[in-house]
Structure 1
């Protein structure tokens, strides 16, 4: 299983990175986790659009899903179209939300091109067993654990600190964790995002084998956030950057 970072800028696209997007590949199958602003362009450096096997959305904030609009256009109008409907897993109501984003009627919305499905606690997506758990965020949001053979990747999506994340990530080979807030900042709102200390603490408690810090807004320094995560997590810690590849 291989993880490729398409975009890792938190909350908004940055000058050197799209918003959230990650490509997980095994056995020739390509699963995209989140498709935020700019991530579709980065994806095409690695695979062609018709090669997408499925998409999983952690939640419906624009920095995690809005490039589905571009995907819809490609699936409807590109020379390769039409191609088989791409499964899109996400929170309940994803189809209606994306139709609204592109100013389409609900029926059919994007459903002739994309096959919208609501997250279940566990589902089989291509060669992957995918588990989810609800997170703590202002909108319905999920952390996502992708398993292939005896290996696993757990992606936090966006969340405040919570025990469900620790349980979902238990023993994971790689925890891809957001760290959108700064440690010890009195302005940090509750139940929104993790700090680097939170990310490290969750990884440590889960027994994660590696930690990758992502979703850092462009107004903070990614490497500083990663250094701060090392204060609470004693294992191997990396900074996500566009094009980074991790073998799992």
Structure 2
């Protein structure tokens, strides 16, 4: 599997850095994972968005899905007949209220919100704590701790595995999902401290400790907000994990 970072800024986009978004490739199948502010522009640097095989959305906070509306416009109104979305409705794996939420965001007025239907462009499939086959990938999702319905993913292919935490506080589900993974792509939104809100995000220390408990081969730190000291967060992770650790940057690629 090849992982490409389309965006890695936490909570909001930062200077020249889109919010959360990733592209995963294997066997000529393209899987996008989250599509935060600014990531659709980056995606087009790597592929034609019509070539996506599926989209995974960990949760519906804007920094993880804001560019979905732009993707709708791109797919609905591209002038080339070969780009007709009816020829291939994009499978979208997302929390169960995604169709209504995205219709509301896309509708031209509040009055038309209830009449907006995006099913001509997308094939919505509700996430749950389950394992599904997405192209060549086996995708296991687990409900994690965040102020909204949010999921972490374990993506497996060819005997290798990538775990993406999405946004979450520490929880047993995350430990279960991460056990023995080759790569852990972990959000770390702040440094550790007693004043941090519970059940919301991981600290650098949390991410490092999770990677150590799970015995992962590589830790990738992402989702650090622009108002947070990235190096301080990464230093916490390194203090608690002695394996291969990286602080991801826009455009990075990693082989899993």
TM bucket normalised to smaller: over 0.9
1:119 has 2:121 as partner: no
Deviation, 1:182, is 1.6
- Residue in 1 that maps onto 2:6: 6
- Residue in 1 that maps onto 2:93: 89
- Residue in 2 that maps onto 1:139: 148
- Residue in 1 that maps onto 2:196: 188
Structure 2: segments with no counterpart, 5+ residues? none
1:227 has 2:235 as partner: yes
**SS at 2:32 equivalent:** strand
Q: Tell me the TM-score normalized by structure 2.
A: 0.94
Structure 1's consecutive aligned runs of 4 or more residues displaced over 4 angstroms after TM superposition are: none
Partners of 2:114 and 2:58 lie apart in 1 by 22
In the TM superposition, 1:142-181 aligns within 5 A as: 142-181=151-190
Partners of 2:241 and 2:145 lie apart in 1 by 22
- Residue in 1 that maps onto 2:62: 62
Q: More helix per residue: 1 or 2?
A: 2
- Residue in 1 that maps onto 2:248: 240
Deviation, 1:223, is 2.8
Partners of 1:114 and 1:161 lie apart in 2 by 32
In the TM superposition, 1:42-57 aligns within 5 A as: 42-57=42-57
Q: Tell me the TM-score normalized by structure 1.
A: 0.97
Q: Deviations over 1:93-142 (max 9, x none)?
A: 11111001112544552111011101141100000000001000000000
For the aligned residue pairs, the C-alpha RMSD in angstroms reads: 1.2
Change (3 A) 1:106 1:174: farther
Q: Deviations over 1:137-186 (max 9, x none)?
A: 000000011000100100000000111101101111100000002222x4
2:22–2:33 contact (8 Å) kept in structure 1: yes
